[in-house]
Structure 1
Amino acid sequence: MPENLAKNPTPTAVTLVAGNAYQKWRLVKDSLVRYGVIVGGLSVIVAIVLIFFYLLYVVLPLFASAKANSIAEYVLPEKTLGKTVLLETEEQNEVAARFTDTGQVVFFEVATGKTILTQGIAIPEGIHITSFAQGSDISQGGVAYGLSDGKAIVVKHQYKITYPNNQRLITPSLNYPLGQQPLVIDEAGSPLEKIAVKVESDKTILVAKIADKVHLVSFAQEKSLFANEATITRTSAVLDASAKAIVDLLIDKDDNQLYLMDNEGLLSAYDIRDKAAPKLKHQQNVIEAGQTVTSLTFLNGDISLLVGDSSGLVSQWSQVKNELKQLVFKKIRSFKVSDKAVVAVESEQRRKGFMAVDAAGTVGLYNSTAERQLIKEHIGTSQPIAAVLSPRSNRLLLETGDEKIHVWNVDNEHPEVSIKSLWQKVWYESYPKPDYIWQSSSASNDFEPKYSLVPLVFGTLKAAFYAMLVAMPLALMGAIYTAYFMAPQMRQVVKPAIELMGALPTVILGFLAGLWLAPFIEKHLAGLFLSLISLPIAVLLFAFLWQFLPKTLRQKIPEGWDAAILMPVIVIVSWLAFTISVPLEAYLFHGSLRDWFSHEFGIGYDQRNALIVGIAMGFAVIPTIFSIAEDAIFSVPKHLTVGSLALGATTWQTMTKVVLLTASPGIFSAVMIGLGRAVGETMIVLMATGNTPVMDFSVFQGLRTLAANVAVEMPESEVDSTHYRVLFLTALVLFIFTFVFNTLAEVIRQRLREKYSSL
């Protein structure tokens, strides 16, 4: 019998076998889906963790400590040729130069101290050197020797790079831009006690202290077009100031200002744009009583002065305008090197940093903008004689009193960044007070980078606030009405249409906002405010008048189709508001509303501003909030609403007391997801705000967000530079902000679900 059944199975057996096979296949599919969901979820978590650690990997070097280590120490090259008055090194850190007080220049290898070339300055016989100065523009390589006969010699040291046999060879040399003949500074022949020089390709300026006077002499070169000759024009002037107490002279890189420092710390600034008639601008004491000035130099850019004193303090002074709009010296910040006198201050050539050396041989490396002490090392056992920081700030040379040169390697890649420079107010050069500023790049090496993240965070929150201010009321009220009050036939049209809005590319929305909406709102600003006032009034008035219509007419409108009859009212009222706005502005405000805001309240108006962002980004966020909130409200179990109505509650009471509370976790999720979309939005903000990183609460001013900042500046940043890493830091801040905010939102959502799940 069983054999016959196997050969000729009954329909019941066939159904049983098919059912078993179906169940097995169903279990297999369930297992595949389950493991697929697990793998997908874990993959998302792993991807997020990897993104976080990659951002951290790029950002961490910003906060790494600077390092310095000794790499060589050797006897002073050609020490018999005189005492060192200046140490210099070229950019590749291969060749250094030692200028002596006897007019000799010794070029030697940085690594070994081996002499490469010794060359003497052409000093006339019987004349000796009385002063020496390095050019204010160090990159030009100019120096000046003041002589005992009232003359001076200007010399430039140069380095020629060649590649014989594919090996780099640096050949040093001296050049006399104004010729080897000494230049007459004082016709009376008095010795030049102090000297300052500014060397340019076509002009050289010399300032000298001679007895009790300060002389300013300018030599301008004019080259002939048809002959290899140059005509030198000399202009001279004597400053109206006593030079008896002058201890230092400085000329700025634009040769517009001259600074004089006396032995009591009185700093005087002169306007020398007219070389024949210098004018005193202002004076101010820059050190405390009882202290003396031991060092004076420019910070890179020649906007600020670094003053070292006998108490071991280096202070930064800059010219800013006071309440009377007059330029005065202000101490921006100060750095305590040690308790010993500061004997040398050397500025970095390409950044806003400097090296300070005290009398005990302590060397400190500092950054002015970040207000950081980067390195502090004790070098040598005797008093320092001369020090130099290489052009790339990665090597320092220090000569000590025991006739030795110490060579140290410096690893200091990102000195501009600190917690203060990122998150606190910083007093930048040429600014009247400390402020939050983002300005990351410039075409000049003199630029002071400003990496404050506060304006970007402020702009991100401002954009999200105005976007949610527009989106939340419209999306949530629309979701409530669509899910609870609207007729099913109308809901089937409205819901997909609004969700379809979410498919619009944000670049299209940003394009429309920047090129069409912004000019339109600028022209019809009064129309926008008028529509915001007139629309609620028009809707309430229409609702009030609706009840006076004949009952038969009102009953022709099916239940749930009320919104359809309001559409013509909204369109007509909005059209009227924008149509009459321009003549209304002219009549009420005697011009435009924008000018009235500016004149009456001092509120400026940028065409691309937070208002435009709020409207455009709100339009982009509405579909997200609406769709999730509407699903949450519509999914409330029917037995809850039916039970509430059966117990005598009105439709409105049921909606507020039952439906909204039950759907509150979903509504809250909708709002949080919409906020996350607004915080991370890039293209709309990029195209509709003007990208101005300013901190202004006005809705009429622009902004810049974290996301837009990364999109704008990442293409122009140098890989692994400070700018590049700070941009990754902004991305990390945005990542952490979103993660923390979403985590808190999820905790709140779970608590809402637990609280109202028993309804």
Structure 2
Amino acid sequence: MNDISQSPERRQIAPGGSRSLLPSPDQRERLRKRRAFKDHFSRYGIGIAGIGVVAALAMIFVYLFSEVAPMFRSASVSPQASYNAPGVDADDELVHLALERYNILGSSFSRSGRATFFEIADGDVRASFELPTPDGAEVSAVGVGAPRSQSIAYGFDNGQVALGVVEYEMTFPDNQRHIEPKLTQPLGDEPITLDEQGRALSVIGVQVSDRGSYIAGATDDGRLLVASFDTRQNLMTGEVTVEQTVVELPGIEGEPQQILIDGRFRHLYVSDERGYIHHFDISNLNNVEYVEAVQVTDSGYVSSMAYLNGTVSVIAGTSEGELSQWIPVRDSHNAYSLVRIRDFASYNGAIRHIQPEYIRRGFLVGDDRGNVGIHYTTSGRDLFQSSLSDQAIRMTAISPSNNLALITDQGNQLQVAEVSNPHPEISFSALWNKVWYEGRSEPRHVWQASSGSNEFEPKMSLMPLTVGTLKAAFYAMLFATPLALMGAVYTAYFMTPRLRGKVKPTIEIMEALPTVILGFLAGLWLAPFIEGSLPAVFSILIFMPLAMLATAYAWSRLPENLRNAIPDGWEAVLLLPTILLVGWLSVAMSPYLEIWLFDGSMRQWLTNIGINYDQRNALVVGIAMGFAVIPTIFSIAEDAVFNVPRHLTQGSLALGATRWQTVMGVVLPTASPGMFSAVMMGFGRAVGETMIVLMATGNSPIMNFNIFEGMRTLSANIAVELPETAVGSSHFRVLFLAALVLLGFTFVINTAAEIVRQRLRKRYSSL
């Protein structure tokens, strides 16, 4: 007894005479402290981990936003230097101003026919050239071609014209770039006669492209002439011959002010002092047609107009300071008409000069109050407008790299200004609203971000991609949700434990299948199979449920002793022969159904009734992506149903409810928060899926929910185009915006889903 009482451990005699050792008070205190430490560590550790996850998501959002935000900044113009325009005397007039791509040399053309090339930094003259002038003639008109052509034409008072084209020769002496300017004359060293009557040319327009050269002019007696020039060079002698065709255009009311010719030599526009633009079709010089006259303004006249890059859109400025964009739109009869599609911010004074950018759809504007502005057509943005001179703006020029501008005023004072305008083509309306693009008959949502042509107009509407994402997710969930939820309910509540132990792991293993394999099979096997067996697909959808109901009815009519031979929970196994038989019959009968019902081809029948069918379409994506989403929904929903407390279901059964009544009235309400979470998890995966959509669709960014046509999703578009785009470009940042939209979309959906789940949980927590 003394030994026991003096032992540090307390001994207790348990029932049956055995003895057990219990911890001493000190040991229990140490255990309590250890558990308390673990509890605190777990609590704060999990909390810190949760905060870390939220912080990581926030940092992802901040990073994406930092890449997106620069797209929506306005342009800025910062004057750097100022000097008198080189090559223009006090008694002369500046008629054209230009920059070369490296911002080293500028060029000025005076009315006397002198071309001067100067250093932009300080205005020092590098070279000077004179265009040939006929003896005794004077310059009466000057016309400038598209900026990319670097062409200028001088018209004389004897009906002749001289055409000059600026070229730059680049060398690298001592590893230093040296640019040598040249002024070539593609039509020969002597002026060419445009008007055989020898009348003075009051207005002249020119266009030079790889298709040839066109020059149009208005004479002082009101006639309009257009000439095409085809130059040929003898390879042996180097002699250049020029074939010329001159046609007189129909007369117009009003005095011509300016003439424009497009680069495809199809449209010719003449503005007059009454505010009209006259449209001619010159695609066939043997049959020139006067198309129409459109009124630009009713309170003034068209003071300046210019072609944008691509020579499709015309920007018209008026004496009242109005700016508008016009494009030729083709109707159902293949006839073009000039349509006003967009207006820009007005100016206080008359528009004096419009200078288009070289490779974008932007342009600079100067008015007679000294204001200069920058605008962009596709986005409809007015990016900059400010007063840069006390005098009227005479001429502006923008470099091909769009980062430097030359601005001259009425006093021939030239300003060199740095321009920052990296992303003018992006705006909220261009990304989400319909935009009227060049070559389209109406405003549309279009995604076509790049092309091999420098004249291409980027079309970056996110609506087709967003609709495509929702379309793919919708059809995938339409296929997966009923199968996954019903399978989860049956597996968790009706299936025997032994069969459940085989089915549940098998379906969960499906989630480990690489999506690239599913996309590969969908694109190379499933899509051609569905295309060749469309009647089989619809036969399965119709006859499979009917066959399952018929099998169930037949099973219920069998003798009871036969039905009792099959244990409860194994009914699904009995349906396998029915499923296989109906599937085989549907595929086997598909060719005959096509012959009997669809004249041999169901795809052609769909086309005939106005339903487009693409081989890789939303139906293929719905099946393939639904197959990938089913394991996620099934696993979470099955756990939610299986974990419904047994006393609830047993109580329901004890009160006389059937098993199906118990499922509908007790199991589903109790498990609804978990099942709803399962559906939202599956939806999130469907929205973010990339490889299946990438390989099983045609990646066509279209705006419809036709199950027989494809789509392009946000995630697939990012995967395809991000590796090929230039870092920091507008296209690059729009793809980051697509990622931000995808992140925000899933965040909003998941937040709403969690709110709904919590409310469902609170509502049915009393069960």
Q: Normalised by the shorter chain, which TM-score bucket?
A: over 0.9
Which SS does the other structure have where 2:201 is aligned?
Answer: coil
- Scaled by the length of structure 2, what TM-score is found? 0.93
Q: 1:323 to 1:156 in 2, by over 3 A?
A: closer
Q: Kindly, what percent of the aligned residue pairs are identical? A: 45
Structure 2 CA distance for partners of 1:202 and 1:731, relative to 1, 3 Å = closer
Amino acid at match of 2:238: N
Asked if the contact 2:613–2:708 (Cα under 8 Å) also holds between the matched residues in 1, the reply is yes
Q: Is the 8 A contact 1:105 1:118 kept in 2?
A: yes
1:36-435 equivalent positions in 2, closer than 5 A: 37-80=46-89, 82-135=92-145, 137-200=146-209, 203-210=212-219, 211-241=221-251, 245-275=255-285, 277-280=286-289, 282-322=291-331, 324-435=333-444
Distance 1:126 1:281, change over 3 A: closer
Choose from 669, 674, 681 the match for 2:677: 669
Write out per-residue CA displacement over residues 123-166 of structure 1, whole angstroms, 9 at most, x where no aligned residue.
2442211111112x322322111122222211122233334444
Could you list the runs of 5+ residues in structure 1 that have no partner in the other structure? none
Q: CA deviation at 1:213?
A: 2.3
Q: Of the candidates 678, 703, 716, which is equivalent to residue 708 of structure 1?
A: 716
- Given that 1:388 and 1:397 are in contact with CA atoms closer than 8 Å, whether structure 2 keeps it comes out as yes
Q: 1:634 aligns with which of 620, 642, 654?
A: 642
Deviation at residue 521 of structure 1 after TM alignment: 0.9
Superposition deviation, residue 489 in structure 1: 0.8
Tell me, yes or no, if the aligned pair for 1:380 and 1:406 is still in contact at 8 Å: no
- Residues 345 and 382 in structure 2, CA contact (< 8 A), matched pair in contact too: no
Greater Cα shift, 49-58 or 137-146: 137-146
The answer (yes or no) to whether the contact 2:147–2:357 under 8 Å persists in 1 is no
Query: For residues 172 and 326 of structure 1, what CA distance do their matches in structure 2 show?
Result: 43
Give the AA of the match of 2:129.
Q
Deviates more, 1:360-369 or 1:398-407: 398-407
Residue deviations 1:153-205 (CA, integer Å, cap 9, x gap):
11122233334444433332322223321222233332222222223468432
Looking at structure 1, the residues matched to 493 and 675 of structure 2 have their Cα atoms a distance apart, in angstroms, of: 14
Aligned equivalent of 1:608: 616
* Partner amino acid, structure 2, of 1:386: M
Q: Is the 1:606–1:701 contact (alpha carbons within 8 Å) kept by the matching residues of 2?
A: yes
Deviation at 1:589, TM superposition (A): 2.2
1:682 is aligned to: 690
Please name the residue that 2:659 is paired with. 651
Distance 1:201 1:504, change over 3 A: closer
Partner of 2:16: none
The Cα shift of 1:368 comes to 0.7
Question: Are 1:451 and 2:460 an aligned pair?
Answer: yes
Q: Tell me which amino acid in the other structure corresponds to 1:142.
A: S
Aligned-pair CA distance for 1:78: 4.2
Give the superposition deviation at 1:233. 2.4
One-letter amino acid of the counterpart of residue 558, structure 2: L
Query: 2:760 maps to which residue?
Result: 752
SS of the residue corresponding to residue 89 of structure 2 reads helix
Check conservation: 1:239, 1:278, Cα contact below 8 A. no
- Distance in structure 1 (CA, Å) of the matches to 2:430 and 2:107: 36
Ranges of 4+ aligned residues in structure 1 off by more than 4 Å = 5-36
Deviation string, structure 1 residues 330-356 (Cα, Å, up to 9, x no partner): 111112322422111111111111112
Find 2:743's aligned residue among 735, 741, 747: 735
| Secondary structure class of the residue paired with 1:208 | strand
Q: CA–CA distance in 2 between the matches of 1:717 and 1:94?
A: 28
The number of aligned residues is: 755
- Structure 2 residue 699 is the aligned partner of structure 1 residue 691: yes
Give the deviation of 1:726 after TM superposition: 0.2
Hey, what's the Cα distance between the residues in 2 that align with 1:608 and 1:201?
40
CA offset digits 1:430-461 (Å, max 9, x no partner): 11111111111111121111111111111111
* Distance of 1:634 and 1:403 partners within structure 2: 86
Determine if contact 1:203/1:220 at 8 Å carries over to the other structure: yes
Q: Deviations over 1:500-557 (max 9, x none)?
A: 1111111111111111111111111111111111111111111112222222221111
Structure 1 CA distance for aligned equivalents of residues 753 and 637 of structure 2:
15
Q: How does 1:22-33 map to 2 (within 5 A)?
A: none
Which whole-Å CA distance do the structure 2 matches of 1:668 and 1:7 have between them? 57
Q: Secondary structure at the match of 1:417?
A: coil
Q: CA-to-partner distance for each residue in 1:568-607, whole Å, 9 max, x for gaps?
A: 101101211121122112111223222223323x111111
* Separation in 2, partners of 1:244, 1:31: 90
Q: Is the 8 A contact 2:9 2:21 kept in 1?
A: no
| Contact 2:540–2:583 (CA under 8 A) maintained in structure 1 | yes
Tell me the SS of whatever aligns to 2:364. strand
Structure 2 contact 147–356 (Cα < 8 Å) conserved: no
Letter in 2 for 1:726: V
In structure 2, do the counterparts of structure 1 residues 237 and 751 end up closer, same or farther at CA, with 3 Å as the change threshold?
A: same
Q: Tell me if structure 2 keeps the 8 A contact 1:213–1:243.
A: no
3-state secondary structure, aligned to 1:80: coil
- Alpha-carbon distance change, 59 to 258 in structure 1, aligned in 2, over 3 angstroms: same
The alignment partner of 2:196 has SS state of: coil
CA contact (8 A) 1:212 1:243 kept: no
Q: Conserved in 2, the CA contact under 8 Å of 1:337 and 1:356? A: no
CA distance in 2, matches of 1:671, 1:90: 59
Q: Which moved more, 1:9-18 or 1:252-261?
A: 9-18
Tell me which of 568, 571, 581 is aligned to 2:577. 568
Deviations 1:39-77 (A, max 9, x none): 543332222121111101101101112111221222233
Residues 462-488 of structure 1, C-alpha deviations (whole Å, 9 max, x = no match): 111111111111000000000000111
CA drift at 1:757: 1.7
Cα distance per residue 1:282-310 (max 9 Å; x no partner): 11223233421111211211111111112
What TM-score does the superposition give when structure 1 sets the normalisation length? 0.94
- Provide the rounded CA distance (Å) in 1 between the counterparts of 2:47 and 2:178: 63
1:657 alignment partner AA: G
What amino acid is the match of 1:241? Answer: G
For 1:721, the equivalent position in structure 2 comes to 729
How far is the alpha carbon of 1:498 from its aligned partner? 0.8
What SS does structure 2 have at the residue aligned with 1:264? coil
Distance 1:197 1:174, change over 3 A: same
Q: Take 2:345 and 2:36, find their aligned partners in 1: how far apart are those partners?
A: 75
2:487 to 458, 466, 478: 478
Unaligned runs of 5+ in 2: 12-18
Structure-2 residue corresponding to 1:509: 518
CA distances 1:206-225 after superposition (whole Å, capped 9, x unpaired): 22223332222233222233
1:463 to 2:511 alignment: no
Comparing 511-520 with 226-235, greater Cα deviation is found at 226-235
